[in-house]
Structures are given as structure tokens and as C-alpha cells.
Amino acid sequence: MPEHFSFNSLVIITLLAFIVPITIEKVKIPIPVVVGEILAGVIIGKSGLNLIEPGSWLKFLSEFGFAFLMFLSGLEVDFNLIKRATWQRKKNSKLIDGPLIISALVFLLTLIISFVIAKLFVAANLLNSPWLLTLIISTTSLAIVMPTLKEKEIINTKYGQQVLMSALLADFLTILMITIFVIVISSGPLHEILLIFVLFLAFIFFHKAGILFSDSHIFDELAHATSQIKVRATFALILIFIALAEKLGLEIILGAFLAGAIISLISDDEGSHLNHKLDAIGYGFFIPIFFIMVGVKFNISTLFNTPNIWVFTICLILASYIVKLIPVLLFRRDYSWRETLSAGFLLSSRLSLIIAASAIGLELEIINESINSAIILTAIFTCTASPILFDHLYPEVEREKDRIIIVGSGELTSLLIKRLNTDERIVTIIEKDEDRIERARKLADRVIYGDATNLSVLKSAGIKSADAFLTAAGKDQVNEKICKIVKKNFLIENILALNFNIGNKQKLLDLGVKVVTPSLAAVGLLEKLIKNPRTFSILNEEKLITKEIKLRNSSYIGNKVSELNLPGDCLLMAIERNNELIIPHGYNHLEYGDILTIVGSKECVMTVIKRLKEAS
């Protein structure tokens, strides 16, 4: 007889998934939503009202929610960050330098200290084996670290990238090591460990195939409406990697994580429309089921019936902080004590991975229910307390000004600098003409005397921390040469060049440089003056500023343009979505990652920036 499936339990769980975030927001409880979901699960589960009937379908939805959570963890991997870190390591001659090396050393020290503490637990008869606990307390939560850094608006700073790299590396390596551990503990032969390489070969194959398919026009044509081809392809990829991992005898967390990493590699950026859809599917349905079911299965009686379990829980919470705070002392070389300690507390936050590892240990009977309960309590405590401790410890710093480097101080660049808002930008001029040095000093914050084709001159101008680079030397060949040097040796996304000969423009475009040809720009400007004289006069008004803002505040997602209620004299001029320009009308809906062009007075525009960029 096939098992009868009752919807009653699923209805209760989905209602809780709907009610919990609203309750936390309205009551202003300072805990993550997933903690609220676990606590709600405890209330309706076997430790509380016992309203949930376990069944195979509910177990499947919970396990798929767990796999989808690991997939989204892989999706959060910023491969541009890894590329930048690797590039910095190659360019730096010091043995211990660069975010990747520092992060690797931090994780290695974390593992060593975790093993020592786990052995102490074994010696105190609180645990039978040190290995799984070593991996469990070595984890961190990328899902807590990334939003916290974004909220502080420091994710793109050197410090933010260092903390993010440490979290990313800890997440990936612990997933890999847990997979190997499960194979070893299950008495699997050596060749089963080597099967991990089969999964990585599949990763390479599907990554290459994904690049080919993502470039196809048919994918863009079928990406919306009823087809949603990219979402379908993503789910197919998740299930392929889960099934492959299961077939190879590996943990599904590794397969799901690698599937997410593939999508991260081939998608445009963190704000892509596809990523937003996947977040909505995961956090809207599957993932809440997993966390609520964690609470449903939580057996609170073991915390009262098992001797010394409270001692173990308190020691485990303390150990969770010790294993992170000691290794991050390596940060002290580059950062203040407050920055170093706040990084340690933030990296001590644990959530999905520690619960997942504990569930695996419980399933394999490596740990018992009381230890599992203690680990879940540790996750709840650290993911709640750690962001609060970070927020209190991290020093308040003023927002860094944009750093712009300009080569040459001719008439065009002189006019440009005068029009730039120097309150928000630090402008450095590189000038090799001695006669122009004095004029350059009156225009810019810094002036470097030298040839921009010389690497040492570019470095002394602070090019490594520059947000934008413009070369406006008198000759196109010189501009092209400078652009090639900058592209080869420095990772700057926003590189611009003045180009006087229209025939030379394509060479610069092929380098990935944004090109401005004065003669063409003048023609375009004259056309605008003829066709739209009043619009041009508005944009040319000195009291007004124009800003591009990436929409990150989820409370505005799906809203109509007419519902924006922009303050004062602000006006929404354009929406850029997936490299397409949209002329905004009241009926247009906003989507996560939209780049909005806003014009208005400085005060009003800055208010809009804060409102729309804020992650909620």
C-alpha cells in the first residue's frame, strides 16, 4: 500500500514560515529569521505541542531544503574575490601576504585549535571521538557574515574582503572535509575518496557547458514568462549533482554546493535576476521547511536527562569563539585591535553548516541526540550574538571617498575635475609635463610627476586602491599603451580613455576600456541640445546631481515605479536591467539589482541612495 500523505503538517509548517518573519519584524526581536524558525519548530514539535506527523514526503522536502541551502551557499561564492586574492598573491613577493594566504592560515590554525579542544572534550568524557567536533567548530556562516558586512557598507573594502574570504574558505573546506570524513568513518575504501575528483570533473564539464548555453540567444528569449528556462536549468543542475554525489557515495552537501558554485561562475553578478528568483524559491519555501523541521526533531528532554550536557553546551559555545578569536590575531598586522576582534566574533557565527554537519553525525550515530541538541543551541547562540558583538566592536568609520586617477591635465581633464564633486572623491593627477604641474596642483588633491607608462609611477599614485582610472594623454598610442599596462597589472573595473582617432577606438574597446571620442561626444551633445533643450538644461543645472543606485532593499522588490515616493525634487530617469535600458513609467515593476538613475538635489539623492541600497 502506498503511504498516505496528509497535508496537515505541511500546512502548519508553511503557515509558521509565513508568520515567523512578520513576528520578528513587528516585535523587533534581535534574532535571525532562521533562529525564529527553529524555535517555532521546537514549539510545534516533539518537545512542544507535537503537532507534526513525520512522513517520507515531509522528510524529502526537509532534505531538499537542506540541499538547496547548500546550493545557495555555493551561489554566494564570489569568484571575482578569489581571482583578486590570487592575483594579489602573484604580485606580492612577501611569503605571508594577500587575503587568500591569510585566510588559509586562519583556517589552518582554526583546525589545529579545534582538534586540541575536541581532544580535551574526549579526555573529560564529554565526547567519544574528536574528529567530527573538530570540523563542526571549524565552520562559519557565510549567510551571516555577508549580510552583516553589506549592512555596514564595508564589504568592498580591504577589511571586508579579508573577512569574507576567510568565511568563504572555511565554508568550502569544511564541506569538503566533512565529505571525506564521512567516507572514512563509513570504512569506505581509498578509491571512494578519489571519487570526489569525479564530482570535480563534472563541475568543470557543466561549467563549460553552462558558459556555452548562457551565451545562447534562446536562453534569453525563454528566460521570462512561462518558460523560465534558466530556473529550470538550475534545478536540473542541482538534482544532477545531488544524484551524482549520492551515486558516488558522497555527501549531497558537496554536490549541491558545487552546483551553486557553477551558477555563481556563469551568472552576471550578485544582483542578477536569476539569483533573486533562486533566493525567493529557496528562502520562500524549501529552506524554512528544513529549519522548522530541525526544531520539530529537537529533543529538549535530552538537555535535562543527560548528565553534564549543560556543561558541554557552555564549553562548546566558549570553544566556538576561542577557535576563531585566536587565529584572527593574524589580522592584527594590518588592522586595529577592534577590527581584529570584531572579525573574530563575526567569523564565530555558525548556522546552516554546523546544523547540517550535526545532522550527518546523528544519522551516522557518531553523536547522540543530546550532543546534537547542544550543537543546535550553539548555532542559535552564535548566529544571534556574533553579529551584535561585531556591530558593537567594529569602529565607526566614515565612508571612504571614491579614488580617481587621471593621466594628463589638459583642458578637457581640467574642466572634468572642476565638474566632479570633490567632496565625495579624491582626484590624483599623473602629469609628466613640468610646465603643467602647477596648474594640476590647483585642480587635484594629489599630483604625481612622472610617466604613466612606468609601473612605479602608477603605484605611487595609489592605483591599487583606485575606483576609476582615466587616461587623457595627448596621443592615442600613449593612451592605448597605458591602458594595456593597467589592464595587465592592476584589477580596476572602471578604466576610461580619451580617444581622438575614431579608427583606434575598437582596439581600446577590445581591451575592455570605456572609450570617449571627443568629436563623437560633441556631436551627440549637440543632437541632445537640438532635440531636448529643456532636458539638457535640467541635467546641466549645477545644484542638481545625477547618481546611479543598485537596488538592494528587498522591501521595494516588485513595487511599481509609481509607489517609490521619491523625496523632494528627485526624479527617476532610467532603469538598467540585465544590460538593457528601460525608460521608467508608473506601471514598471522594480527588480533586485536594478540600476536606477536618479537626478535631484544632493540632499534628496543621498536620502534615496541610503533607502534603496539598504539590504533588508
* Strongest mean pLDDT among 191-200, 250-259, 516-525: 250-259
Q: How confident is the model at residue 115 (pLDDT cuts 50, 70, 90)?
A: very high
Q: What is the number of other CB atoms lying within 10 angstroms of the CB of residue 535?
A: 12
Q: How confident is the model at residue 615 (pLDDT cuts 50, 70, 90)?
A: very low
Pick 198 or 88 by higher pLDDT. 198
> What pLDDT sits at residue 575?
83
DSSP strand E in 420-543: where? 425-431, 446-449, 468-471, 495-498, 514-516
| pLDDT surpassing 90 at residue 344 | yes
Proportion of the chain above pLDDT 70, given as a percent: 83
Q: How confident is the model at residue 320 (pLDDT cuts 50, 70, 90)?
A: very high
> What pLDDT sits at residue 565?
78
Pick 349 or 580 by higher pLDDT. 349
> What type of residue sits at position 285?
F
Name the DSSP letter for residue 331: G
Three cell numbers written together for 237: 543542475
Q: What are the boundaries of each domain within the chain?
A: 8-393, 402-524, 541-613
Is residue 549 within 8 Å of 596, Cβ to Cβ?
yes
**What is the residue-wise DSSP string for 537-573?**
HHHT-TTEEEEEEE---GGGTT-BGGG----TT-EEE
Q: How confident is the model at residue 410 (pLDDT cuts 50, 70, 90)?
A: confident
> What pLDDT sits at residue 579?
62
Is residue 589 within 8 Å of 564, Cβ to Cβ?
no
Q: What is the mean pLDDT of residues 50-54?
A: 85
Q: How confident is the model at residue 345 (pLDDT cuts 50, 70, 90)?
A: very high
Name the DSSP letter for residue 573: E
Q: What is the mean pLDDT of residues 417-434?
A: 77
User: Considering the chain, what is the average pLDDT of its residues?
Assistant: 80
| pLDDT surpassing 60 at residue 223 | no
Q: Selecting from 3.30.70.1450, 3.90.1150.10, 3.40.50.300, 3.30.2130.30, what CATH number does the domain 541-613 have?
A: 3.30.70.1450
Three cell numbers written together for 348: 564565530
> What pLDDT sits at residue 240?
93
d(CA 373, CA 527) in angstroms, rounded, equals 70
d(CA 573, CA 558) in angstroms, rounded, equals 18
Three cell numbers written together for 437: 604641474
Which of 305, 323, 294 has the alpha carbon at shortest distance from 382?
323
DSSP β-ladder status, 495-498 and 514-516: parallel
Instruction: State pTM to two decimals.
Output: 0.66
Three cell numbers written together for 477: 598610442
Which of 312, 320, 305 has the alpha carbon at shortest distance from 122?
312
Q: What is the mean pLDDT of residues 177-193?
A: 74
Phi/psi of residue 577, each to 5°? -140, 120
Using CB atoms within 10 Å of the CB of residue 543, give its burial: 0 to 12 exposed, 13 to 18 middle, 19+ buried: exposed
> What pLDDT sits at residue 348?
92
Q: How confident is the model at residue 543 (pLDDT cuts 50, 70, 90)?
A: low
Name the DSSP letter for residue 551: -
Q: How confident is the model at residue 225 (pLDDT cuts 50, 70, 90)?
A: low
Q: What does the chain come to in residues? A: 616
CA 387 to chain centre: 16
CA 390 to chain centre: 18
Architecture of domain 8-393: Up-down Bundle (1.20)
> What pLDDT sits at residue 512?
81
Pick 212 or 616 by higher pLDDT. 212
> What pLDDT sits at residue 119?
92
Q: How confident is the model at residue 583 (pLDDT cuts 50, 70, 90)?
A: confident
Q: How confident is the model at residue 113 (pLDDT cuts 50, 70, 90)?
A: very high
Per CATH, 8-393 and 541-613 having the same topology is answered: no
Q: How confident is the model at residue 129 (pLDDT cuts 50, 70, 90)?
A: confident
| pLDDT surpassing 90 at residue 233 | no
Residues 437, 443, 444, 450, Cα dihedral to 10°: -20
| pLDDT surpassing 50 at residue 271 | no
Which of 316, 301, 305, 304 has the alpha carbon at shortest distance from 126?
316
CATH of domain 402-524: 3.40.50.720
DSSP, collapsed to helix, strand or coil, labels residue 568 as coil
> What pLDDT sits at residue 1?
45
Q: How confident is the model at residue 460 (pLDDT cuts 50, 70, 90)?
A: confident
DSSP, collapsed to helix, strand or coil, labels residue 560 as strand
Q: What is the mean pLDDT of residues 527-544?
A: 60
| pLDDT surpassing 80 at residue 529 | no
Proportion of the chain above pLDDT 90, given as a percent: 10
